[in-house]
Every structure is written in C-alpha cells, then in structure tokens.
Structure 1
Amino acid sequence: MDNSGREPDGWEIFRDILEERRKSSDLSHALRTFNPQPYRGGPPCSTSALNRTVLESQYLRYVIQQVSAESGELQEVIKEEAAGMLEEMAQNIQMGFIRFLAFILSKVFKRLFRRIHINEEGLQRVQQAIQECPVVLMPNHRSYMDFLVLSYTFFTYNLNIPVIAAGIPLMGMKVFGEIFRRLYWAVLSEYVKAIVRTGYAPIEFYVEGLRSRTLKSLTPKLGMMQMVLEPFFKGEVYDIALVPVSVSYERLLEESLLAHELLGVPKPKETTMGLLKARKVLEEDYGTMHICFGHPISVRELAKGKINRGEYNLVPRDLPMKLSEGSQAFVNATAHTVVRLQEANMVLSSWSLMATILMQNLGGIDCDSLTQQTQWLRRLALDFGAHLDWPEQLSCSEVLSLNLSLHRSVVRCEEGRVLLAEEEPQGSGGPEDTVLRLAVIALMCASYRNQTLHVFVRPALLALSMHAAATSRRDEIFNYFRFLQGVFSIEFIFIPGRAVEDFEEACSLLRKCGAIQIIDQDVTMTEVGHATTSFLRAILEPYIEAYQIVFRYLTEENVLVFTERDFVPAVRSYAVKLILSGALTSYDVLSSDTQKNVLAALLRLDAATKTRRAEQTDFRVNKAAINRIGDVLAGRIPPQTASYSRL
C-alpha cells in the first residue's frame, strides 16, 4: 500500500487506485466480474419494481389528488407528469454502460491526476454496512468530478454503484409552477425513501446542497437529509448508516471557473462531460486527490434519547407529516455533525498551507521566508489535528518548487520572491477591469487557503476574542467568542448549541501549542504565543474586513429596500472603488458568496428582514442594528453577556 509520505499520525492508510491502472489493461478492468454483496435486510429489488412502488405509493396518490384538485388537471395527467419526473431522476443504468464508463474514466483519471488515494479500511467499513442496513453516502462537494470518482471507486472495489439523489432544474420542465414543484418534490421524496426502505442501493447526496465555489464547507441543506431520515423516524427501517465522505483536491479542475463565477461571470451549463471535453483540461496536471470514507454513523445510536418515534404512529405512515421541533433540531444537528466529520477527515496539501501564508502577503513574499513559515504552519496544523499530504522525502524548498510548478496558474516566482500570477487582459479595460483581473487570481489562491480554515477557525476565533475583549477574564472572552460564532455561523460550520464545547476545544488547542495558559478564570497569552495568535487573527481578517465593508455599504449608502440581484453587483462596485482608492487591500469582499453570507448573517441576527413578492425577494435592513454589530466586531463595544456554565 502507498502511504505517499503521509504524516505518521496513526491515521488511515491510503492506496493509490491509479497505480494498478498504469500497469494493467483498462479494458480488462472494465470487463472484470462485478458481483457486489447485496443488502441482507430484504429481497433484491429491480429498478422497474422500485419505480412502480414509488408511483403506486399511497403518499404519491395523496399528493396527486391534491395537485389535481388545485390545478384542475385530471389525475391521470398528473400521474403521467409524475412518471416523467421519476424517469428523469431514476437511474436505470445498464451494466454495459457502467463498464464503458469505467474504461473511459480509467483513461481520463490517469491523464488528470498523479494519484487518487482511497482509505481502503473505510471502504471495507462501507461494504460491511451496505449488507446490514441502508447506507447513505454524504460526500462534500467541490467539483463536478466528485460523483464520477466515487462511482468509479465503488466499481473498482466491487461495491453497489450508489444512486445519486439530486434535484433537476425545475425551469427546464414542460409544466412548472408552485403546484408542480410540490409534485416534483413529492416524487423525489418518495423515490429517496423507497430506496432507503428497500436497501436497493447506497444513496449518495450532497448535504451542502450545492458545489462549494470557495472550497469551504457550506451550511447544510436539510430537505434531502429529512427525506433519508424519515423512514427511520416512522419505524420503517431499524437503522440507517450515514457515511461522511471527504474528497480533497490538490488542484481543482474548475479553479478559474469558480473564481470568475464569484465575480459575477455567468457560469456555463453544468455538464461534467463538457468539462472533460475541454482539451486544455486534459493537458493539465491536477496532482493528487484523496477520498476518505469516514466511520458509518448509526442513526439509531445518534437518536437515542433525542427522538420519540412513537409520535409518528399517530399518523398513517403513507401520509405526509410535519416533523416536530425536536425532530427538526435533530435533523439540523445531524447534518452539521456530518459536515464537521467531512472536515475532520480532509487531507490538506502543502500547497493549501502555502496559500494560507500567501493570502497574508498579497504583495509577495521571499521564497526563503515562505519556506520557513510553511514549516512553522505545518507544525501548527499538526498540533491542531490536521491530516497532511506531505512528501517526507523532499525538503521544504523542494516542496515549494513542486507547488510553484503545479499551481503556475495562481503563483509565479520572480527574483527570489513568490507573487500571485496575473491573468491575461481581455482587450483594453479600465481600472475596474484591472482590479477584477487581480481579484480572479486572488480568489483562486483564497480557495486553497479556505481548505485549511476548518482546522484554524476555532483557535482563530479565540485569538480574536482575546484581542477584542482586552481582558483575561474567561467569561468575557467567551462572550466575544459566542458573538463571533453567531456572526460567522453561515461562513463556517458550527454545530448548533455547542458554543461552549467549541470554546473549550479552542482553549485546548492554543494551550497545546503553548500560545496561552489558563489559570483559574483567566486566559492569558504566553511569551511565545503572540506570533501564533497574530497569525490566527490574520486568517480571519479578510472576513472581518469584508463584513465591515458590506455593513458600511448598507448603512452609509442610500440603501433602504433592495433585492439580492441588485445587492451583489452594488457591493462589488462599492468595494472596487475602495480598492482603487487604496482604502481596501483584500479581495475577499468581491466574492458573491461572501456578500450573500453577510446578508444571511444579518437576517439571522435580526438586523435585516426579507419579504417575498411576485418573482423576487425584497430585503430591508435595520441600520442601527447593523451599526451595533459592526461596533462589536471592531471591539468598540462589548457583546451582550452570555452564560458560560462550565466556568
């Protein structure tokens, strides 16, 4: 097995699945015997039988009757529409096509990647779980390649190909509207639940909902999560295994595309084959990819003492039922827990550490200084529990050289200094176009920095809280910590109701690396801790600055009521002017995702409201509330007092 120089931290051992493909026939691999072990909890179920079960279910009949009554259409017409929706989402893929795809993907992956590392022990755990209960694979979503690589991996290891549960663009349907959207979601819901009930195949879905354009984890979407858990709530299955899957890329195929999207460039139609057909893509080197299958989570064990399944006996199983507040909280906490486990099993590349340092030195940095700081950051990341892909046989300067070559689209080296690359200008443009060209590269680099943020965010929040509170009192520092978590709860992943545990984790990590000491009720900096805490604060500084810029725009400009469509380009234009004037040096605020996250945070903090009307949503802000949040964020006034029961 190939450990690829991974840190000897006693963690999972990875195997390169492309190694054998480079030595033996791709055709024989595609044509080999494929006989996966079935689910033992019920008889095998064909695709046609599964679809028939969905269309004939009492629940779907109930929804069809409702839609027919509200739309005036005959039930037969509505049922045909439902059958068309099901045919589009159901995956009746023939074995011949799977083998053809396996042959093609073997060729493609060997062109794109040096290595694809899989933790085989994790796959063995998945294989065992598939035989015992319904399995739900929950990968993070960073690239169009994610589902292809996972399906290819399951074929390679003789496991049932997962069914990908995902919505389709509703606007592309012949008939659409609120009524038929409800029909679509009813069909999707019943399809997903039927797969869970029968153990037809593992289900794969992205709990983040969308592909992350910033390479940070997204706040989980709960609709699909509720669908897969409902059969357990209603006692239709004994247990469900949730498997967090962490997909890590050393270099992303869509790195430039994503940065342009964040700056408002319309994205092309999302097709994986369209991406692969691009000749330039196939000529590039995308380094190493890691896929880590986490330990299966038993929903039954997770729900003990939290869910009363008896309440679902009061309504027939086939009819829709709104989840209780307790069940909704359980779904939310479970989804956040899965995303945190995805983050915990991510494998960071040496380049991600270098990108983190580069984003604090946008004007460039000496090669020697970058090498030394990367070594220091590597030790800190390991202290904080990160998993690193670091070639032990190479010196740090050699690692830097490799990264400069692999990521030449982002960085360049001139006269002993590492600088951000420059995008070629498209014709003659003004100063604003120059800023946006620089921003493309900066956001590309930021996306690789973002891969590390889950490791540093809690200690960074503590470092920022200690600095802002200007006191050593533990309770006052916690107040700032909790406030910052509230502000950035859309930006980073925090499990609801665990602020105290997150604070204690941050204290433990900073104490472990020698940056702080805790005596009684006082948290103080050590003599050697200033460099660490300053660096951690600098990691969050672009986000602090971005949020403050949006706050300024909303309070200083004549902004009363606006739509998101108007808000994003207006903030971008406002920020570009600040960059041109020299008042702003960070490019993170130009990201549409960051701008939308600020707006979502203000809604959550009751500093903004939204009203839906016709085809758009209007937002209205409370300027006094925004000013107060900005003042607390800047450390000018303290946050409201919170209780810290474990002090």
Structure 2
Amino acid sequence: MLKPMTWLAKVLYWPLKPLVRCKIVPEPVAENLALDPKQPVFYISRTASASDLATLARICHKLGLPDPMEPVLIGNQSLSRIIFLEQPRVLWGSRASTDALQQGLALLQAHLQDPHFSAQLLPVSVLWGRAPGKENSVKSMLGESESPSWLAKLFIVLISGRHTLVRFSKAVSVRQIIENSTVNEETAHKLLRVARFHFYRQRLAATGPKLPNRAALFNSLLASDVLKKAIEDEAKSKKISIKEARAEALKLLEEIAADYRESTLRVGDRFLGWLWKKLYSGLKINNGQVLTDLVQKGHEIVYVPCHRSHMDYLLLSYVIYHQGLAPPHIAAGINLNFWPVGTFFRRGGAFFIRRSFSGDKLYSAVFREYLSKLFSKGYPVKYYSEGGRSRTGRLLQPKTGMLAMTVQALLRGIDRPISLVPVYLGYEHVMEVNTYLTELKGSSKKKESIGGVFSAVRKLRDYGYGYVNFGQPISLNSFLTQQVPDWRAAAETADTQKPVWLNPTVATLSTVIMQRINQAAALNSINLIATCLLATRQHSLTRQELTTQLEFYRNLQHYAPYHSGVTLPEGSVSQWIDHAIRLKKVEVSQDSFGQIIQLTPENAILLSYYRNNVCHLFMLPAILATALLQHSELSKVQLINICQLLQPLLQHELFLQLDQFNAYIEQVLAQLQQHQLVETKGQSLQAASVQQVGHFMLELLAFNAQDVLQRYAVVLNLLQLHSPLTRAELEQQSHELAQRLSTLHGISSPEYHDKQLFATLINALREAGYCHSNEQNELEATAILLPLQQTVNGLLRADVLQTVLSIVKKKD
C-alpha cells in the first residue's frame, strides 16, 4: 500500500522544497536521539501523507538519518521503513485502514527470528503550522483537521508549509518491547494505541488547546457561580444594579484577558528572530528536554522565571516556541498595557494584572476565575513570583498571590498534574540596568511608554549572550501531598473557603521555587569577570592575574559545584576576557609589563548587578576565605560551624539550598588547598602566606562576602546594643548606618541602597529566633544573638568593624 505513496512522495520531493520550511526539534537532533548506528531505524508517524513523507525524507537526508522511503532488508524479507498509523480523510466514503498492524507484527516477529536484530522505532510528528484552532470552528473540519483529506492538505501546505514543525521523539527499542510482552496481534495493537496517544500529546504540546471564542469565554465566566455571587456583592456594596455590576465585571475581563492569536506569534517569531540577532551574540538554552518530558506525561506546565528585564517576556516565550511547544499565557504588569505594545503582548498571550488587588473584591474574583479557566482548559501559564524586576541583580523575596491562586485552581478539580518549572534568565547586558541604581537611590520609576520603546530601539547593539536555564520541576500535586497529606479534602470547599494551610504551604513553595531558580544559574564571562574585578580596590587586574582567578573560579564550580544545574561558559578563559572587551564592559591599558584589565567608575557600579546574579554561588566559599584570612588558623569543624551559623540567614536572603551541606564545604576546602590558597597546619587550615599568589586570590574570593557580612554586622550590632527597637526604627537606622559605611569606605554597591534587604534580614533573624517581638511590638534580641554577632564581627576587617561599632555606640 505504501508503494504508490512512496512514488508520489518522490514526485513531490522537489516541488515541495520552496513551499516548505521546517523547524526541527530537538536540536541538535543526533545528540538528543543518541541512535545506535549499528541497528536499523524505523519511523512511525500519524497520518499517511505523500507530502509528509517527502518532507521527512528531505530532513532525514539533511540530518544524515536513514531515508524513510527506502525499505529495510532483514534476511530475505523487505520491510517498509515507515509506519503510518492511519489514512487521511476522504472526500466521500469511509477511510481505509493502514497496514500499520501488519507492519508492526512483521517487525515484532523479525526480532523473534533473529536474536541479534534490535530495531529502533523513531516517532516523528510533522505539524503543518502551529495554529491551535478554535472551539466549534468550521476550520476544524477543513484545514485544522488532524488527518486532512488530500484537498485540505493541499491548502494546508500552501498556507502553512513555511511554518512546519517536525519533532523527533526518543527512539523505542523494539527488542525491549518483545522481552516484556508476548509477540501477538494484541501486543501490536497495544503498541499502536500508545503511539496514537503519543502523537495526540505531541500535537497538543505544540499548538496548545483550541481557543474559545472570546465573547463566549466571557459569558461563561460571568455565568459561573463564583462571579455571579461577586457581582451580587458588588451591586449591594456600591448600591448599583446587577446589570451595572455585571458590566463592570465584563470591563475588568476586557482589561485582564489575553487575546491569543497564532498570526501574532508568526509575526512575533520573525521579528524576535531579527531582534535577537541584533541584540545578542546568541542564546544559550539548557535543560529544555525537561519540558518535553513533562508534556509527554500530560502535565500542565506553569513557568516561574526570575525577573531581570522587560526582555524576559519576549525571550522566554520565544525559546519555548522554538522548543516546539505552545507559548504560555503570560501574567504581565498592567503598566505594560500601553499602545501599541499592550495590544501586541495581549495577542501574544499576555494577560494583565494590577499590582494590588487590595480592597477590590470584584477584581480579585474576576482575575481568580479567569486564571482558573486557563488552567482548566489546559493552557500553559507563565508568571513571575518576584512580582517585579530585580534592581540589584539578586532574586527578590517572592510574592505569593499567583502561586496561591494556582493552588486554589488545583483544588477546584483540575484533572491533570500541574508542574511548576523554575527558569533562570541571565544576560550579559540588561537594557534597563542604568535606571536601576537611580531608582534604588530614590528616583521615581519612569512610566512605560511608546517613547521609551523608541528610545530603547535607538540604542540597540550587541549585548552578548542571553541565557535560559530550565530548573528542576516541582510537581505541585506531589508537593502538596508531602506538605499537606489530606489536601484533596479541601477541594470540596475550594469555592467558598480558603484552607488554613494555604498561606504557610504557599510560602514554603515560593521559597523552593526561588532556590531551584538559583540552582539553575548561568555563569558567563561578564558575571565572572565582574566578580573578579569588583573585588579589587582599583577595580583592575593584570590580564595574567585575571586569567588565573577566572580559571580558579571555573575549577571551583566544576569540582565543587553548587548544584549540577549550574552552567559554565564555553571556550577558554582568554576568550572570555576578549568577549568582555568587545562588549566594552572592561577597558584595556598596556604598559611594558603587559595588559591591565580594568573597570571605569561607571561600569564598576553597573557590573555589580551582574555579579549579584551569581553571588550565591560564591557566598559560602567567600565566607570560608574570609574566616581563614581573619583568623590565624581554623579546623574544618570550626569552619563548618561558622557556615552553619550563617546558613539560615543566607538561605533566607540568597535562597541557598545545598543537598549535602557539610560535603559541599569539604569539597570547597579541598579546592582551596588544591589551588594553594590554603595551607594545612597540623589538623587545622590557614591562609597561604602573604608572599604567595594564593593569598591574593583568597582575598579576591573573600571580597564576595564583604557586603553581606557588613550589612549583617550593622543590624546585629544595633539589635544587640539598642534593643528594644521598633521594626521601622531598626530598618531606618540600619539603612542610615550602611549609607555612612558606604561613604567612609568607598563602597559602591546597589544593595546598600536597597531598604528591602534590611527588611528581609530582620525577617530571617525573627524566624531563626535571634530576636522576638515584646508586648509593645518592639524587637528584642534573644540570648542566641550574641554568638552570631560575635562571629560576624570576627569576620569583618578591623577598619570596617571599628566604623560599625563607633557609629552604633554614638546612637546611645
């Protein structure tokens, strides 16, 4: 039956070439598929189609894979290399069945006859266009059919041929199938059923669910019991009619809801492809396979990235689209809903959210119901748990509103598992970084406008590389079962009651998400060079010194990794430095002794942002280095104790999370010894002598903990010497003291202007029991604060400690 189709596919091979442009996933195909070249490959696809076969043949030729139109010879038997599960629809009459069952049986029996034969069955999906289609649409009977007739396929190829997606899935070993099953017709049927379900999920993953009519969606939402009650309450509270309250609810839906259009995605894909080439040397994507695995298991995906820049909205959706998956609906700040950007974002899947729901019960009800509808329909969703962009480069403390609504949506009866995917987004240049420091110093945030967009466009240049690292997913269902074993019981009252466990559980979940974002951090040439140069007083190093320190940091993260999800930059250290020079992040001067790499005063402040993106990776090594520099000698046990004492505060502020804490500390100490930064003295360790290069390298490493330890010292000494203090007084005095410290010691770091960091530290101290609130709601130090204060004071440089103590004592 395949012979006429193969003949037609060969006829169409060249005429189709100008009409078809394919996106192939995963990339690179050969490395991801890991096929055994010694064993034959068979392809399995959904619908018998000459155009599909011709397109697949061209792609296989390009990738160096076996030709699907050529048969496979097994002894004296010739088997077709491709298996189609079903025939296309016909213009009249009923569809015939394919030879898939007979081919499957023949393939299984061939394995029984030859014990050395082990075929690889490679599923391939050919999707002509990525349009999800619309519910109750006439198109679903024509161009959007999964098995279109030859006439419908003709129009599909002409209209969507240049937007074709071809996805190769992991090959299945036929030998393993027969080892676990009896070779008979039932086994072949089962194999084909599994394959059909696989292709259904592949299509759903690539296009997303069918889109509802926008007006019909709004009417269904307004007709829900939850919104009916909210509308009635709104009418009573504002003394207006039900009709007026309903009109207000409809207006809110218009403000919030996305207007997803596949045509916008096509235009956006082309525009962004051009934009990334203008902006970036390239995009680095890591661990994208985790998304395909989740989709294949039928999971609802919620992307939870960190938030560095407005570019995040575009970058992550673009990357997901090019992973062969449907772009998510995106929670965007209402500040981005300005003409014409707001319209473009809305049609690209953005739904808009106000900064606060406080006091507006109708808005809260409308938004929750809309979000719940997205989940129930099966749309992937993306939101930023930080709420806003980080101005310092560190992760912000998470906002839990969207997470809480996600959990509540699950309680309302979603029949699929939900997985939260943390995403680390990194840049070698953030377009808004120049404005962040001025905002931290007190300048008001500029309102987004079309003028700002044009201003940004005029400044387009090469910004280096962009990084998208997908972290370890969190199964929301499993997480809830672990935290609240009887959470499913709350589903019965999900519409009327908020479970008492919701807030603390969501708070824990938000922390785990931030920890996993940091575990997927991307080290790059800019943040590593910033980490090195900012540690020097003059923000300069010889090229040889910089090269040596960078090689040490690379080896430190390779042999004592913070986490397996952390990625290292490619290329040599020399190439990293040349890359930073080309991006004008550093300046180079030359004398008779060689090159000096340095930062201008302006760049020194800006590059602290990029250093802060990855400061958590070097924090514990820096504390170890600091302890060894400040004390003549320390045992491993003493060093581990110092780190453990500070760990609760670091975990709260930097979202540190290590699976094997003590083992990690020992690995770091081993690397310090390996690179001769540390020496052994009996049973203790000490810093390398001042005359050795290792001592200078240890000082550079130690600098990474300086700002954190100084802020800790400010708050701890104020608490110890002046409590009780109101929270507001402690935050204000801490901020003022830090500002003075910054002036006296020439510290230029964004976090010294960030009042929120002091509030975060005070929360961490309370949670760890270092202070508590008295009857007047003032903060008082507890007995365990003194050892912490003494430890931190012992890690400060003498001049800085003297400044802190003298200023604190003047507060008396």
Q: TM-score by structure 2 length?
A: 0.60
SS at match of 1:207: coil
Distance 1:122-1:129 versus aligned 2 partners, 3 A rule: same
- Partner secondary structure for residue 38 of structure 1: helix
SS at match of 2:390: coil
SS in 2 for 1:387: coil
Alpha-carbon distance in structure 2 between the residues aligned to 1:538 and 1:206: 31
SS of match in other structure, 2:665 = helix
C-alpha separation between the residues in 2 aligned to 1:484 and 1:562? 22
1:358 Cα deviation after fit: 0.9
- Quick check: 296-305 or 36-45, which moved more? 36-45
Show structure 1 runs of 5+ residues with no match: 2-9, 14-27, 424-440, 517-521, 612-617, 638-647
Judged with a 3 Å threshold, the aligned counterparts in structure 2 of structure 1 residues 562 and 338 are, in CA distance, closer, same or farther, namely closer
CA distance in 1, matches of 2:221, 2:485: 27
How far is the alpha carbon of 1:480 from its aligned partner? 3.7
Return closer, same or farther for 1:313/1:420 CA change in 2, 3 Å cut-off: closer
Q: Deviations over 1:322-354 (max 9, x none)?
A: 341xx5444333333332332232321122211
Report deviation, 1:66: 4.0
Aligned to 2:615: 453
- Between the two proteins, the alignment pairs up a number of residues equal to 570
Which runs of 5 or more residues in structure 2 are unaligned?
1-22, 24-30, 35-157, 166-201, 339-351, 677-681, 689-693, 797-812
Partner residue, 2:301: 135
* Comparing 414-423 and 244-253, the one that deviates more: 414-423
Pair 47,209 (structure 1): closer, same or farther in 2 beyond 3 Å: farther
Post-superposition Cα deviations, 1:245-264, rounded to whole Å, max 9, x if no partner, equal: 22221222222222332233
- Cα deviation, residue 463, structure 1: 5.2
Aligned: 1:381 with 2:557: yes
Query: SS in structure 1 opposite 2:654?
Result: coil
1:561 Cα deviation after fit: 6.2
Q: Distance in 2 between matches of 1:635 and 1:446?
A: 25
Distance 1:180 1:224, change over 3 A: same
Q: Is the 8 A contact 1:365 1:419 kept in 2?
A: yes
Q: What's the offset of the Cα at 1:360? A: 0.8
What residue identity is the alignment partner of 2:318?
A: Y
- Name which one, 1 or 2, has greater alpha-carbon Rg: 2
Q: Could you tell me how far 1:361 is from its partner in structure 2?
A: 0.5
- Name 2:252's counterpart in structure 1: 85
Q: CA deviation at 1:442?
A: 3.1
Are 1:33 and 2:33 counterparts? no
Q: Does 1:187 align with 2:366?
A: yes
Whole-angstrom CA distance in 2 between matches of 1:12 and 1:486: 43
- For 1:379-435, what per-residue CA distance to the aligned partner results, in whole angstroms no more than 9, with x for missing partners? 21222334212324xxx4453233123134x65546543332144xxxxxxxxxxxx
Say whether the 8 Å CA contact 2:418–2:476 is kept in structure 1.
yes
Q: Find the aligned partners of 1:524 and 1:78 in 2 and give their Cα distance.
A: 73
Distance 2:735 2:486 in 1: 49
Is the CA contact (8 Å cut-off) linking 2:386 and 2:399 kept in structure 1?
yes
Equivalent position of 2:485 in the other structure: 308
In the alignment, which residue of structure 2 is the partner of 1:21? none
For 2:795 and 2:297, the matched residues in 1 are separated by: 58
Q: CA deviation at 1:112?
A: 0.9
Q: Which moved more, 1:299-308 or 1:444-453?
A: 299-308
SS in 2 for 1:538: helix
Residue aligned with 2:393, SS: coil
Shift of 1:115: 1.0
The answer to whether the aligner puts 1:263 opposite 2:441 as a matched pair is: yes
CA–CA separation in structure 1 for the residues paired with 2:483 and 2:437: 42
CA 1:507–1:64: 2 relative to 1, 3 Å: farther
In the alignment, which residue of structure 1 is the partner of 2:279?
112
Q: In the alignment, residue 554 of structure 2 is paired with which amino acid?
A: R
- Within-5 A mapping of 1:237-248: 237-248=415-426
Note the C-alpha offset of 1:214.
2.0
Pair 1:276–1:128, CA change in 2 (3 A): farther
Aligned with residue 341 of structure 1, among 516, 522, 525: 516
Q: Calculate the TM-score normalised by the size of structure 1.
A: 0.74
Tell me the CA shift for residue 135 of structure 1: 1.1
1:222-260 deviation per Cα after TM superposition (whole angstroms, max 9, x unaligned): 221122223334543341122222222122222222233
Partner of residue 486, structure 1: 648
Matches within 5 A, 1:36-185: 37-38=203-204, 44-46=210-212, 48=214, 49-119=216-286, 122=288, 125-126=291-292, 129=295, 132-168=298-334, 180-185=359-364
Say which of 491, 499, 509 aligns to 1:322. Answer: 499
Deviations 1:438-474 (A, max 9, x none): xxx4331211212222322244445556778998677
Q: Which residue of 1 aligns with 2:125?
A: none
Amino acid across the alignment from 1:185: S
Distance 1:360 1:40, change over 3 A: closer
Kindly tell me: are residues 577 and 229 of structure 1, through their superposed partners in 2, closer, same or farther at Cα, counting changes over 3 Å? closer
- The question of whether the paired residues in 1 share the 8 Å contact of 2:411 and 2:491 is answered with no
- Which amino acid in the other structure matches residue 144 of structure 1? H
Counterpart-to-counterpart distance in 1, 2:570 and 2:205: 39
Tell me whether 1:540 sits opposite 2:705 in the alignment: yes
Q: 2:389 is paired with a residue of what secondary structure?
A: coil
Residues of 2 paired with 1:546 and 1:563: CA distance?
Answer: 16
- Percent of aligned positions that are identical: 24
Change in 2 beyond 3 A, CA 1:60/1:463: farther
Q: In structure 2, the residue corresponding to 1:491 is in which secondary structure?
A: helix
The correspondence for 1:219, drawn from 378, 385, 397, is 397
Q: Give, in whole Å, the separation in 2 of the partners of 1:118 and 1:12.
A: 18
Equivalent positions of 1:469-618 (< 5 A) are 480-494=642-656, 501-511=660-670, 514=673, 524-525=684-685, 535-549=700-714, 577-580=740-743, 583-588=744-749, 591-593=752-754, 595-606=755-766
| One-letter amino acid of the counterpart of residue 261, structure 1 | E
Could you say if the C-alpha distance between residues 534 and 389 of structure 1 is closer, same or farther in structure 2, counting changes exceeding 3 Å? same
One-letter amino acid matched to 2:665: A
Query: Structure 1 residue 301: deviation in Å?
Result: 3.6
1:344-363 pair list within 5 angstroms: 344-363=519-538
Report if the CA contact (8 A) 1:246-1:343 is conserved: yes
Shift of 1:266: 2.6
**In the aligned structure 2, how far is the partner of 1:30 from the partner of 1:563?**
61
CA RMSD of aligned residues (A): 4.7
Cα distance in 2 for partners of 1:193, 1:563 equals 38
Deviation digits for residues 486-538 of structure 1 (CA, Å, limit 9, x no counterpart): 3334430035xx7x84344333443466479xxxxx99437879777655432
- Report if the CA contact (8 A) 1:562-1:620 is conserved: yes
- Residues 458, 502 of structure 1: 8 Å contact kept: no
Moved more, 69-78 or 366-375: 69-78
Distance (whole Å) between structure 1 residues aligned to residue 631 and residue 332 of structure 2: 45
Q: Name the counterpart of 1:390.
A: 570
CA contact (8 A) 2:731 2:758 kept: no
Residues 480 and 487, structure 2, Cα contact 8 Å, conserved in 1: no
Residue 712 of structure 2 contacts residue 792 of structure 2 at CA under 8 Å; is this kept in 1?
no
Shift of 1:107: 2.4
